[in-house]
A and B are shown apart, each in its own frame.
Chain A
Amino acid sequence: MVKMMERNLDGRELLASTLVWSAVALVTATFCWLLGDIIWHALSHITWTFLTTPPRNAGREGGIGSILISTTLILGVCLGVSVPIGLGTAVLLAEFTTDDSLFGRLTRRSLDVLSGVPSIVFGLFGNAFFCKTLGLGFSILSGGLTLACMVLPILIRSTEEGFRAVPTGYRLSAAALGLSRTTTLVHLLLPAAVPGLLVGLVLGMGRAIAETAALIFTSGYVDRMPESLLDSGRALSIHIFDLSMNVPGGDANAYASALVLVVLLLAINGTASWLAEHWLRRRIVTI
């Protein structure tokens, strides 16, 4: 009887592990296929010249130098605006409002709705508000600010979760030691909440760097080297979209640009975790 049950269990165990492993294999295979396809098509096109020269002949020839600069600037504006605001709002929500206050609930609900809004809606909003109402026109600034609006909900919510994950004991001990709320926040809670912030940052950056719909209406289509933040500048994702969907014969450079985009994304994720390991963690000790 016991043996039979054991065998039965073994069978179920086997089935479960097969299912789990095949799911893992499927996910990994999809990723490897995707990456392999891009690398296979792109590797021969990636040269130093490709990375530094501006596109020519609608992007079929030349490189992506100006596009990379524009993308970096757009991301820079986006992060420069969204990280301080996001961090501030997360601190307010997690540390200074109670769970059941009307303000907290309302803010959280709004953020959850905002994070589900399709990016094209953000694009139209950005076009109406930043480009027209504020008169920024098609510019890197408009694009970065629109992306910041898009990234903020994700950033705030995951940073807030990071703060909430810090045990209450930390706060009580800090208070017992006579530390001010600011000191507690900066030296204790912030470093402890960094993983949450990083998750939000990585997810947000991933969403931002891959964005086409919101950017085509805000930062625009111009592939010239930007001279200021008020110039229109084409983001990498828009360049890839245009090359593969609108420019006959743009495929080779589209693949190469896609590889650059993937590498950029991996680099950003890598940097984010490196920062977490080596810089912010240290602060918790050197109080």
Chain B
Amino acid sequence: MSTCRALFMLKKYAPLVALSMAVLMYIPASVEAQSAAADQLTGKLVITGASTLAPLIAEIGKRFESLYPTVRIDVQSGGSSRGVADARQGLSDIGMVSRAMKEDERDLSAFPVARDGVCPILHRENPVQALTDEQIVAIYTGKITNWKAVGGVDAPITVVNKADGRSTLEVFLQHFKLKSSDIKAQVVIGDNEQGVKTVAGNRNAIGYVSIGTAEYDAVRGVPIKLLPVGGVAASTENVQKGVFPLSRPLHIVTRTSPAGLAKAFIEFAQSKAVYDLIRQQYFVPLAD
């Protein structure tokens, strides 16, 4: 009876036993791996900044870690402004900035890793097929408040804008020569997916998001449509060709010119070895 019970217990805890054995076997293995890579790169890189870039850099980091097992790449998200601030103050080794560098950011060394387009999006059921730059400016500054004025149905326009500090906002403002304070928005959002979800849930909304995100969602049946800008269709293809007017480079930045581990990582992030990861995250590699 008691043997039977003991057996039962063993069976019950078999996964646990297997797990602890696996852990025990894993420890010597990892020690070996460490000594093998001792002469290679080692240490920890802290990378902070743009939430748009965070998933991509985290994936690149994982691949880098698998090449150099003693290296740790810690990616923290929080926005481009934070990427710049943290890199400047030395709180991070590398910052992520999802836009072109500004005049007053010349003190940082910037390295482009990928490109991304930004395009206006509407609900799929909205009959409007295209908007001129002037119309978009008028809508975002509150001069046009009804879809009727641009050839749509008689319904008020819900303007979806990005929160201050977001790079998509800055790309948008720069292209349309607007100031953040000029914009009269009904909804202010943060991340790209949130923009897609807001517009998909409101037939009368207009927003703008990363083309990669919008393309991915539109293909998978989310009810949105991508509007052309300046007559150029919004697609990752056109961003890569460099013909789409609203696009932004995605940068990683450092305070001083990078050396050692940071240099190796930046070179890796700019190499062809990560192009598949860049496409996987719906961005556009720099060159093909």
Contact = CB atoms under 8 A, between A and B. Distances in A.
Majority-rule SS of A interface residues: loop
A246 to B, nearest CB: 4
A11 interface: no
Contacts of A137: 46
B193 interface: yes
Nearest to A57: B280
A248 interface: yes
B190 A58 contact: no
Question: A59, A248, A249 — which one has the most chain B CB atoms within 10 A of its CB?
Answer: A248
A122 interface: no
Interface residues on B, range: 20 to 34
B212 interface: yes
Contact of B193 (A57, A59, A132, A248): A248
B141 interface: no
Contacts of A132: 91
B155 to A, nearest CB: 27
B78 interface: yes
A244 interface: yes
Given A138-B74, A221-B76, A232-B76, A248 B216 contact: yes
B46 A246 contact: no
Interface in A216-256: 216-217, 220-224, 232, 242, 244-250
Given A58-B55, A132-B91, A244-B193, A249 B220 contact: yes
Nearest to B55: A58
Interface residues on A, range: 20 to 34
Interface in B176-210: 190-194, 196
A245 B194 contact: yes
B282 interface: yes
B213 A222 contact: no
A210 B141 CA distance: 37
B58 A232 contact: no
B75 interface: yes
Contacts of A246: 51-52, 54-55, 77, 191-193
A59 B62 CA distance: 13
A245 B77 contact: no
Contact of A58 (B58, B76, B213): B58
Contacts of B280: 57
Nearest to A241: B191
A137 B51 CA distance: 19
Interface of B: 46, 51-52, 54-56, 58-59, 62, 65, 72, 74-78, 91, 190-194, 196, 212-213, 216-217, 220, 280-282
12 contacts: A58-B55, A216-B77, A221-B77, A222-B76, A224-B72, A242-B51, A245-B190, A246-B51, A246-B55, A246-B191, A248-B196, A249-B220
Given A132-B91, A246-B191, 11 more contacts: A58-B56, A58-B58, A138-B46, A138-B74, A220-B76, A222-B76, A224-B62, A224-B65, A242-B54, A244-B193, A245-B190
Closest 8 CB pairs of A and B: A58-B55, A248-B216, A245-B191, A248-B213, A246-B191, A245-B194, A245-B193, A221-B77
